[in-house]
Structure 1
Amino acid sequence: MVETRYVIPHRARTEALVAEALRAAGQPDDPARWQWIEHGSANLVVLAGAAAVRVGRDARAAAESLRAQTVVDALPGLPFTVPRALADPVRDGDMVAVAQSRLDGVPHPSGHGDAEVLRGVLDALAAVPIRALEARLAPPHAFMGGEQWHPVMVERAIPLLAPDVRDRARRAADDLAALEPVPEVLVHGDLAGSNLLWDGGVVTGVIDWDLASAGDPAIDVAALAVWHGWDVIERVRPPEVVHRARIIAATHLLQVVCFSLVQGRPETEVARAATWASARM
């Protein structure tokens, strides 16, 4: 997703909360040994020892982080690791910190990738039984407004764009709305970039499950294709799925604007997201 200078929680409270979460997980709580990861739209993360502590940027993000952790902890065994909880969450008012297992691996460079490895990730997600997870999963399209995503995109987000890209954006939104339903599978919802960790040429971990839902598998195909290249994904997914993925990917920039709107982010952040989208559509 796009860096838009997100809301920053109170630093002193955050540090105290992180330290408490680390102590609960039996990990070092010396701030001098922490590594801060602050590019996430909903959460910031502190790495320390064998733990990764997530702190929501606001009360809504904190609640979503707690829900998402129940999804991760309920996932069956997968051919890659996931960030399971190391201890109970700790709270300070509306702030919440969750200590998770820190996963090995690093993000893959964009523009290329091993098609067969990516096939394995997609196949593993599709094979997860979703019935047992349904009550914990995010609603479909949660990132951009849930059931109301199309009105949010058309009536609120697109008018914020530069005039010369609005027609193109409206066509993209309408094309997405026109897709016929398909059988649902477990969808990660943001399956690319820093959320896939690689080591030795394989995916060793998948993080950031906040948007996991029961949905169209083409959602994850689109994310992987945008990061690794459409030519890579076309080798491991049928043409009809790739076609759907292209339609979904055409709205990615709009989805970021929608996210800022539905999350009630500051006007300056919404404006930056709209400017970013306008320049790249």
Structure 2
Amino acid sequence: MTILEGWDSHAWIDGPWIHRSPRRPEVRPRLLAEVTLLPWLAPQLPLPVPVPERTADGVRHLLLPGSPLTGGDEALGRELGSFLKALHAVDPAEAVAYGALDAETASATKAVELHEFRTQIVPLLPTEARAAAHELLDRVAAVRNCLIHSDFGPDHILITDGRVTGIIDWTDAVIGDPALDLCWVLNGAPKAVAAGAAEVYQPGPELVERAKDWARLSPWYGVHRGLRLNLPDDVVNGLRGIVSLL
């Protein structure tokens, strides 16, 4: 048996299965929601996703092949663009009925986080940067209109021989801003991957700019964590990152 640990779940591999159990009580309902959401979602997507079943202590699903993405070409980017385009086109009301977190609940949860950013982090920024910081926080809270993965990045994109063989970790699936899923693809992925994804997805200028906003928000999470865990170096480095991206 191989033990794996994640932020939200304990995980272990047993034969062909990967098992996951919640690390905290609030994670449990989102983990169990995958049991209804992903079987409904999988036939609508052009790339494989886990199809979990419930167990006594959480969920399990058959292992998907591949390793986390570390590079890629335009063809791989086109695969990702096609996947996100299909994901963002599914019926959001049906997605909620099958277990995705609804927009109202997701907005309330995000509002708490953004309030902490405003009250704990913005006062630490140089005075001249605070107005832009508040504007950024306003913009990322504004849109919730389709089903999104919410943590779409290289750690959750499995690759075998240069092609995508699975998209994993759906605990955070919500009705939200599609720009969040495009954040890494357009701003952090290799240029060829970004170009291929944009070619297929064809995001408009507003969506591209919101994806940049989500990228600008990235260092805020490091500061937030540093404040909670008393990690002063993380706070200092994160504040520099925030200012550089505003």
Give the secondary structure class of the aligned counterpart of 1:134.
helix
What corresponds to 1:3 in structure 2? none
| Distance in 1, Cα, partners of 2:38 & 2:29 | 15
1:132 alignment partner, one of 94, 99, 107 = 94
Alpha carbons 1:190, 1:223 under 8 Å: kept: no
Q: Is 2:112 aligned against 1:148?
A: yes
Post-superposition offset of 1:59: 1.6
Q: Aligned to 2:94, what secondary structure does the other structure show?
A: helix
Structure 1 counterpart SS, 2:132: helix
Instruction: Select the residue among 30, 43, 47 that pairs with 1:80.
Output: 47
Q: Which residue of 2 aligns with 1:242?
A: 208
Q: Could you report, residue by residue, the CA deviation over 1:66-123 in whole angstroms, capped at 9, with x for unpaired residues? A: 234432233241222222124x321xxxxx3321221111111158763312211211
> Deviation string for 1:189-211 (max 9, x for gaps)?
00112111122332221111111
What is the TM-score of this pair, normalised by structure 1? 0.68
Superposed displacement of residue 61, structure 1:
2.1
Are positions 1:209 and 2:170 aligned together? Answer: yes
Mapped pair 1:119 → 2:81: yes
**What is the aligned-residue identity percentage?**
23
Q: What is the root-mean-square deviation in Å for CA atoms of aligned residues? A: 3.4
Structure 2 residue aligned with 1:98: 59
Aligned to 2:21, what secondary structure does the other structure show? strand
Which segments of 5 or more consecutive residues in structure 2 lack a partner in the other structure? Answer: none
Distance 1:144 1:254 in 2: 19
- Taking a change above 3 Å as real, the CA distance of residues 179 and 103 of structure 1, as seen in their structure-2 partners, is closer
Q: Deviation digits for residues 163-187 of structure 1, max 9, x if unmatched?
A: 4568647634522413695572221
Is 1:54 matched up with 2:17? no
Provide the rounded CA distance (Å) in 2 between the counterparts of 1:173 and 1:199.
Answer: 42
* 2:30 is equivalent to residue 35 of structure 1: no
Distance 1:143 1:123 in 2: 23
Per the TM alignment, residue 240 of structure 1 is displaced from its structure 2 partner at its CA by 2.8
* Structure 1 contact 66–98 (Cα < 8 Å) conserved: yes
Match in the other structure for 1:15: none
Aligned counterparts, 1:179-218, within 5 A = 184-218=145-179
What does residue range 236-275 of structure 1 map to in structure 2 within 5 Å?
236=199, 237-255=203-221, 267-268=228-229, 274=235
**Distance in 2 between residues matched to 1:271 and 1:144, nearest whole Å:** 29
Question: Which blocks of at least 5 consecutive residues in structure 1 are unaligned?
Answer: 1-33, 91-95
**Count of residues in correspondence between the two structures:** 233
Equivalent residue letter for 2:3? W
- Cα distance in 2 for partners of 1:230, 1:185 equals 26
What's the CA shift for 1:213?
A: 1.3
Higher helix share: 2
Structure 1 residue 275 displacement after superposition: 5.5
Contact 1:158 1:170 in 2 (8 A): no
What's the secondary structure of 1:225's corresponding residue? Answer: helix
Does the CA contact (< 8 Å) of 1:158 and 1:254 recur in 2?
no
Whichever residue aligns with residue 215 of structure 2, its letter is A
TM-score by length of 2: 0.77
Is the deviation greater in 184-193 or in 174-183?
174-183
Partner of 1:220: 181
1:109 and 2:109 matched: no
User: 2:72 touches 2:193 (CA, 8 Å); kept in 1?
Assistant: no
Aligned partner of 2:155: which letter?
Answer: S
